[in-house]
Each structure stands twice: as structure tokens, then as C-alpha cells.
Structure 1
Amino acid sequence: MATTIEVNKQSVKQLLETGKIHKFVIPEYQRPYAWSDEQIQMLFDDLVEYTANDSESTYFLGTVVSYENDLGEQEIIDGQQRITSLFLLLRSLYSKLTSMTETKEVRNFKSQIESALWEQDELTAEVDYEKTLIVSKVMGEEGNEAFTNILIKGKVENDAKDNYSLNYNLFVELIEKYATNEPELFYWFIRNVLNKAILLPITADSQDTALTIFSTLNDRGLALSDSDIFKAKIYNHLDAEQKANFIELWQQLDEDATSASESIQKLFYYYMFYLRALENDRNTTTPGIRKYYSRNNFEQLYNSLNYS
């Protein structure tokens, strides 16, 4: 069966609005949200400079690689840091607008941002502020709930130290200062963030295709490993109590493997040979570990699970 991908340049508003049809999901196997204050500052400064130059050209923000999973969601393989930060930026802009006098400009941009952040009634356009167009399910990430609450409430918990809260507060501070110092440019800034900043979404036909694209494009940091996928598969197979224990066991295993100059990825590789021996598999061609463990709907990963 031929591999297919869809590439379609879109503005931030156009892309985020697709979450109404296929909600954005940051899956369990992704790494936690990790953008620093320096990266937030750089993004904001770049957009401010772009606005100040009064350019009619577009501003390219990068790629987002995803595929439609079995639940009809846009599962993000690459670009989760960028798209998460854009949601936080738009929510902070919306918070600023709600504190301002209701002018035509304020009404216009509030409406546009609402369409990019939350679900709306198809006939009345009434906004459901409790239903966001993105959800993070990163395994063991306490910030998942904080992210959702920020998008719903527009504020963070007192003394919150997660990156979602810290970066949202930084956006709020930067926007307040910018709106005060550059009131004539402020609305143009919002216009540019929504409609002139461009992303290149790459939608794949399967998780494997999306991961292959990600590995090809990604030349910075660590690409997702097969063990990240396996971790999520096992995690989703457990009940709530088992999940908590599994997270602790996985973290301990990761530390032990690192101390032994190994990796969990290698452990899965070694374990595959053990299982093949039990199966009396004499094939001299070594299969890829994702291909091996994905047989029979990942049955090998679930056999004899006990994390309670």
C-alpha cells in the first residue's frame, strides 16, 4: 500500500481551527513541554520585529507533523513545543483583550481567537470555554492538567512551577508591556500572529509514516524512539493504580539502564532476542523492534503485565 502525506501551508488561525474537526492531541509517548523562557522571548521578539517592519510577507514558524489516529484526533509527532506555545500565546492575548474596552477591534480579535482555541456551536458560534482544541496526554506529566486549566481559565495556580504556567505568565507580562508601549501596533501584532504567521502542517497516513517524516526532518535534539511508543502502549493498557506504579518503575529502569551505559531502547532490543529464542525463531534476518513488537496488536508488550 502506497504511503501518502498531505502538506498544506496554513496560517496559525487556519491550522488551529482544524482542531474543531480533529482535536490536537500530544500523545503519551511525547516528551514533556520544555520550551524555556529564552525560547518564548525569542518567539515573541521575532513577531514584534516582524510587526514593526510592516511587512506584507508571511512569517514562517516551522513544520508540524501529525497523523489521524483511530479516535479521529490529530496526533502530533513533531512540533508539539511550537504548537503548545502558540496556544499559550493566543490565550494570553485573549486575556489581555477581555480586560480592554470593547471596541470593534477587540470584538474582532476576540472572535478570531475564540475560533482557534475552543469548540463552538456550528449554528450559533457560541463558544464552549470548557472544551479546548488541544489536549496533552504526556505520560506522567503533571503539567497536562495545568495546560488545560490555563486555556480554560486564563490564569495559573499560585506558585505554579510547570513550564506551561511559567511560559504563560511570561507571555502575559510581555503582552501587557507591548500593548502599553505600542498601542497602535498591538492590534496589528495580533493580526500577524493569527493570519500572517505561517505553519507547514504535514499530515501522514499512519503513525509509522509520521515518525519516518519526523526522523528525516529532525536534526535537533532527540528523535522519538521505539521505546517511547512502547511505553505509551503499555501505559494505556493499565488501570489507574497500575499506571502510577508503572511510571515509577519505568523511571527507575531508565536510571538503571543509564547507569549501566545502556538504554531502554537497547533493553527492548535484547528482550526481542530472548522472545525469539522462546519462539524457536531461526530466521537470520533481524526484524526492526517496532515491527516485531507491533505484531498481533502489540501482544508481546502486554503479556504477563503486572505493575500493581
Structure 2
Amino acid sequence: MIQSATQYPVRTLLDAQSNLTYVIPPYQREYSWQRGQWENLFQDLLEAEGQHFLGTIITLNNSTDTMNPRLELIDGQQRLTTLSILLAACYSVLVEHREQLDFDQNFGVQSLDRQLVIAGTKAPRLVLQTQGENRKDYHWMLHEAGLPVDEVESPYCGLRRIVRCFNHFRGAILELAEEPGDPDAPAMTPPEAAYRMMSAVNNAIIVKIEVSTASDAFTLFESLNNRGLPLSPVDLIKNQFLALSDARGEMDVQDAFTRWDGTLRNLGDSYNNHERFLRHYYNAFISELPPVANASVATKKNLIHIFETLFKSDLTGQINKLVQASALFGRIACTRKRPDPTRLDLAYQNLNRVQAAPSYVLLLWLEAHAEDKNLAERDLTIVTDMLVSFFARRNVTGYPATYVLPRMFMGIIKDSLDKEGAEVLRVIANALRRNSSDDETFRSRLEQDLYTENVDAARFVLTSLSEQGMTDENRKDLWERQSGKYVWTIEHILPQGENLPDAWTDMLGGPDAAAQAQAGYAHKLGNLTFSVYNSNLGNRGFLDKRDHRDTNGNFIGYRNGIPLNADLATKESWGPAEIQERTEHLVDRALTRFPLPHE
């Protein structure tokens, strides 16, 4: 039975004056959010107009202590944990610059202290589960942020997600101070940036549903996760368009629906692609569209307002332009397989794999203006290859921040309006080089634990390096999927799991040395490769992995012919020295494969 269902701002859920504790039950999975989700949360909060809605949490109230109530967090633990880490990052920046804070900001810091750690105790308000060292890492993170908790020793916590999330948010706050993301916004100091994000988190809204039994909690959890989706902004924009078509009589509803449906069919089935296209359409052609008040850039928040204005201004003209632009966008986003792909189509495919969706706005504008800008397919291919390198670097290093990218690409378009041909390419190259991570930073991040930092970036780098050595005779599609999963999966040569077999502990010099090797080297680039038979290799010893064959006698271990495995096929042992050597070799190749654009 539901006891209550009420929406609260986060500051109320984490009430500084209360003794309420949220406990994540031991059966819940460990903290699993990664950088892409951290970035999306940060950007959504940054762009929020008013109070940002963060969804629903489900809590179970089986506490009998009214003075120190405890709620079990059945659903929403990933969000609440991440929000608390973001608040801790804000706190750490604020206390480092305490001398710059005014009275209200100092009061906010004191309240923030008690939001995360219960007043008069050293007990965190959020009690994490113990698996994966989550609770120890969380305590260590709070201690490092300057909060009054007991220091807990947590070896290698910097390699795991909670502390990496904290460091990511700290970096994002400091970067926000340097680059507000809005050219019209005044520069901020670090504490101003931290205070802004703290306020955005505390003002965000969460619906808390409280139940009285575990059975009710799980029934409700299943119901919420299987409910029908509410109308999306894309649905609402479609309804506006159809209603306006009918009211004005410019086209009958069936014709209007056919045109709208044609737009979406060009974009494939993904809702994310539909919404992304509408944002990119406006951002790409903003100088050519009817003016929209208070919309210098399209965001999720103002998308409905933008298209309501555009349709009211020129209904028929806008839908015709949308249909044409969607066909171009569909090619860029690779929503349909082309029977005879050109070099440009293959470049677009690579761009999709490097997760470069923010750049589609630039390519959409270039595709639409290729003729009047004297740009051939070869020119667009050059631009796309530059963007692949830019995003390979960006996804490894996290620079520039996600929220900077829309205006960066819009700025490139603006600077190219009066250019053509080689001049356009020069504008793009200069902007990408100016906003790219330098070689030293790129190298440094590649040499760290890339797999735990960003598994998608690790896959793209490894795949790109392996494809360099492929020929028509030995080509393998490392991006092949079956039932939505990759056929070729990332394989840890030195296994990452516990309970290493004797073959590994003997090779590495005993259990303690093996544990140290795993902690320091398991997730480095040099310890990663691809296998189509990952489950068959598992925790086997290195020589067994190297020489393993299937029932037909075909090599399925490291002698499987994949170029990435060529150096492994002749190794007799595998440990920290070999991993470090291979890491340095692969990093050197990555810097060559993803160069900074030149003039």
C-alpha cells in the first residue's frame, strides 16, 4: 500500500534539519553510473529553466525510531547517490574558496554540510551498500570533500566509480567557471559556479513514493517500470503541427500527417534521434529561420516553444524544410543502411560509432549548403574525419564539456556564413584545434584506466587501431551485433575478477602480487583486446587464452588473426611490464590515428 506520494525539491529530501537516513538495501546493485550519465545530469541541471524534474524514488518505511527515521531506498539509488556526490563536489569547491563567499553563500555551505552528513554525528545521510567497496569509497569521497565523516581507508578507490564521479563533477564545476556555456553570461568564479550547481540540485524536483511493505515496493517498482511512456516533446510538437494545419486549412490533416511521418521515417525509429534532429535543425539554420524570442539555442526545455513559433510563422514552408533536412540528417546519423556506401557514408558511420551526435548540427548545415559553399563530398569527408579525431580525444579526456558543444558548433556555422570552399574547412579546423585536448593531455588520459573511465571510448580506440591493420582477407566486423549485443566483446587479458586461477597467481608471483597487478593494470589499454568467445576464455591462464581453439581446431584465443592480437600471439607471459609496454605502444598509435587538425 502506498503511504504517500509527494513531490519534493532535493533540499527537502535531504533536509539539513532532520535526522532522516536513506539506506540502500544490500541486495541492490552497486553504483554503476558512468561518465555519459554524469555529463547528462550536469547538463540537464545547468540548462534547467526553473525546477528540473528528476523522476521518482520509491522508499520503504519500516523504521520504528521516530527521532532517527530510516527509509530503505528501493528505487532511485543511482540518482540519489549521484546527486549527493555532485553536492559533495560543490561543497569541496566552496570550502576551498570560503574567503570569497558572502553571508548567504556561507549559510548555504553550512546547510549543505548537514544535508550530506547528519548534524551532530559523523554519519552520512545516505548509507550505501557494501559490495564493490561502495560504502568505503563513499565515506572516503565525503572525507576528501572536507565533510565531517570518519576517515575510512579504501585502497584504489580512485580507480572506482564513486571517487571518479566526484573528481569528474569537481572538474566540471571548475570548467563551468572558465566557460559558462553562454557567451552572454558573465564570467564566474569557482565558488559562484559551485553555488549555481548546488542551487540547481537543491531546487530539482523528485517525487518520493513511500510504501509500508517490501511487497508493495516491488509491486510498485515493477508497475512504474512497465508503464506507458508519457507524451514526449516530439509528440506534442506533432500535435501542435496537426492542429494548426487543420485550423488554418493550409493542408488537410492526412497530408500534414504524411509530411510529418515522412520526416520521422527519414530519422529511423529512435526517439532520441527525432528530438536531436529538431534541436539541430533549429541550431543549424537559426540565421535563416523566423526569429524566436528567448531561444538563442534549442534545448530540451524550449523545443516546444520554438516549433510552435516556427509553425505559426510559416507552417507549409517549415514542414517542407523539415522533410528535406531530415533526409540529410538521416544520412549523417546512419539511420538507414545504404546499398552502395561512399567514402563519406563510411566516415559518417565512424562518426556515429565515436558518439559524436553534437557535431551533426554542423554537418547538417554543411550538407544543406554544400552546393552554394562549393563543398564536394571529399570536403565533407575531410571534415567528418576531423570530427572523428576531435570526439575520440573529447570522449577520452572529457574536454570540452558537453554543454559547451552546441554553441561551439553553432559558432563554427556563424563564422562560416560568409566563407566557401577551403576557407570553410580552415574555419572548422581552427575551431576544432582550439577546442581539442592537446597531445599531452590525450596521452595522459589514454595511459590511465581507460576501461573504467569510459568503456565506449575504450572500445572505439581499440576498434580503430585494430581496423588499421585489416585487409580484405582478414577483415572482421568488430561492431557486429546480434540480439542487440556486440559479438566481439572487450576481453581483459589479465582477468579483472576475483579468484584468479593458479596459472595466473603463479605467473604473477603469488596472490598478493597478483592482486596488486589487477588493481594497477587490469583496466589499462594495454590489457584490453577483443574476443568473440569471451565466455570461453574467462579466467583461463594466459597461455591457455593465447592458444585456445574451438572444436574444429580453429584458434579462438589470441592467435585468432585479429591485428590487435598480433603482439599477444608470441608472448610467453603476461604481467605489469608487458601491459605497460603494450599500453605505451597503443597510446603512440592512438595519437597518430586521432591527430589534431592542421591548417
TM interval, short-chain normalised: 0.5 to 0.7
In structure 1, the partner of 2:134 is 143
Residue 78 of structure 2 corresponds to which residue in structure 1?
81
Give yes or no for the alignment of 1:191 onto 2:204. no
Q: 1:62 and 2:61 equivalent?
A: no
Distance in 2, Cα, partners of 1:205 & 1:38: 35
Q: 1:214-261 CA deviation, whole Å, 9 max, x = no partner?
A: 1111249xxxxxxxxxxxxxxxxxxxxxxxxxxx99xxxxxxxxx9xx
Q: Hey, what does 1:27 align to over in structure 2?
A: 25
Alignment correspondent of 1:133: 125
For 1:85 and 1:192, how far apart are their aligned partners in 2? 14
Alpha-carbon distance in structure 1 between the residues aligned to 2:157 and 2:220: 39
Alpha-carbon displacement from aligned partner over 1:49-79 (angstroms, at most 9, x marks no partner) = 22xxxx3x32101111011234642101000
Tell me how far 1:158 sits from its aligned partner. 6.0
Tell me the amino acid that sits aligned with residue 51 of structure 2: T
Distance 2:16 2:174 in 1: 29
Q: 1:19 to 1:7 in 2, by over 3 A?
A: farther
Change (3 A) 1:69 1:219: same
Which structure is richer in relative contact order (CA contacts within 8 A, separation 6 or more)?
1
* Structure that is richer in strand per residue: 1
Match of 1:48 in 2: 46
Shift, 1:119, TM fit:
1.3
Residue deviations 1:257-286, cap 9 Å, x none?
A: xx9xxxxxxxxxxxxxxxxxxxxxxxxxxx
Is the Cα contact below 8 Å between 2:16 and 2:119 reproduced in 1? no
Alpha-carbon separation, structure 1, partners of 2:157 and 2:61: 37
Cα pair 1:16 1:116 within 8 Å, conserved: yes
> Following superposition of structure 1 onto structure 2, how do residues 100-139 of structure 1 map, counting pairs within 5 Å?
100=97, 101-104=99-102, 105-121=104-120, 128=121, 130-138=122-130
Q: Deviation at 1:151?
A: 1.8
1:115 offset after TM fit, Å? 2.7
Task: Tell me the number of residue pairs that the alignment of Structure 1 and Structure 2 aligns.
Answer: 207
Residues 20 and 133, structure 1, Cα contact 8 Å, conserved in 2: no
Aligned partners of 1:46, 1:181: CA distance in 2, in Å?
16
Per-residue deviation at 1:17?
1.8
Displacement of 1:18 in angstroms is 7.5
> Are the structure 2 counterparts of residues 205 and 88 from structure 1 closer, same or farther at C-alpha, using a change threshold of 3 Å?
same
Deviation of the 1:160 alpha carbon? 2.0
SS of 1:131 mapped into structure 2: coil
| 2-structure distance, mates of 1:188, 1:215 | 36
1:69 partner amino acid: N
Distance 1:120 1:42 in 2: 31
Structure 2 equivalent of residue 8 of structure 1: 6
CA distance in 2: counterparts of 1:199 and 1:191, whole angstroms: 15
CA offset at residue 27 of structure 1? 0.8
The match for 1:208 among 209, 215, 227 is 215
User: Post-superposition shift, 1:136?
Assistant: 1.0
Tell me the distance in 2 between the aligned counterparts of 1:212 and 1:18: 31
SS in 1 for 2:27: coil
- Which amino acid in 2 is paired with 1:58? Q
| Deviation per residue, 1:2-46 (Å, 9 max, x gap) | x23211111111101289433111110001110010000000011
- After the TM superposition, which of the residue ranges 10-19 and 31-40 deviates more from structure 2? 10-19
The whole-number CA distance in structure 2 between the counterparts of 1:159 and 1:207 is 32
Superposed counterparts of 1:156-167, under 5 Å? 160-167=158-165
Equivalent position amino acid for 2:164 in 1: L
CA distance in 2, matches of 1:38, 1:19: 33
What letter is aligned with 2:135? Answer: N
Q: Distance in 1 between matches of 2:166 and 2:39?
A: 11
| TM-score, length basis structure 1 | 0.61
What is the percentage of aligned positions where both structures have the same residue? 28
Structure 1, unpaired ranges of 5+:
122-127, 221-247, 250-258, 260-308
Residues 157 and 179 of structure 1: is their aligned pair in 2 closer, same or farther, counting only changes over 3 Å? farther
The normalised TM-score by structure 2 is 0.32
Q: 1:109 to 1:158 in 2, by over 3 A?
A: farther
In structure 2, what is the Cα distance between the partners aligned to 1:141 and 1:70?
Answer: 26
**Bigger Cα Rg:** 2
Distance 1:158 1:22 in 2: 31
Once the two structures are TM-superposed, the CA of residue 112 in structure 1 deviates from its matched residue by 2.7
Q: How far apart are the structure 1 equivalents of 2:14 and 2:75?
A: 15
Instruction: Specify the alignment match of 2:92 in structure 1.
Output: 95
The aligned residue for residue 280 of structure 2 is none
1:111-133 superposed Cα distances (whole Å, 9 cap, x missing partner) = 23123111114xxxxxx4x2211
State the one-letter code of the partner of 2:218.
L
Q: Please give the alpha-carbon distance, in whole angstroms, between the structure 2 residues aligned to 1:58 and 1:171.
A: 20
> Given the superposition, is the C-alpha separation of residues 163 and 170 from structure 1 closer, same or farther in structure 2, using an over 3 Å criterion?
same
Q: Which amino acid aligns with 2:41?
A: L
8 A Cα contact 1:26 1:80, kept in partner = yes
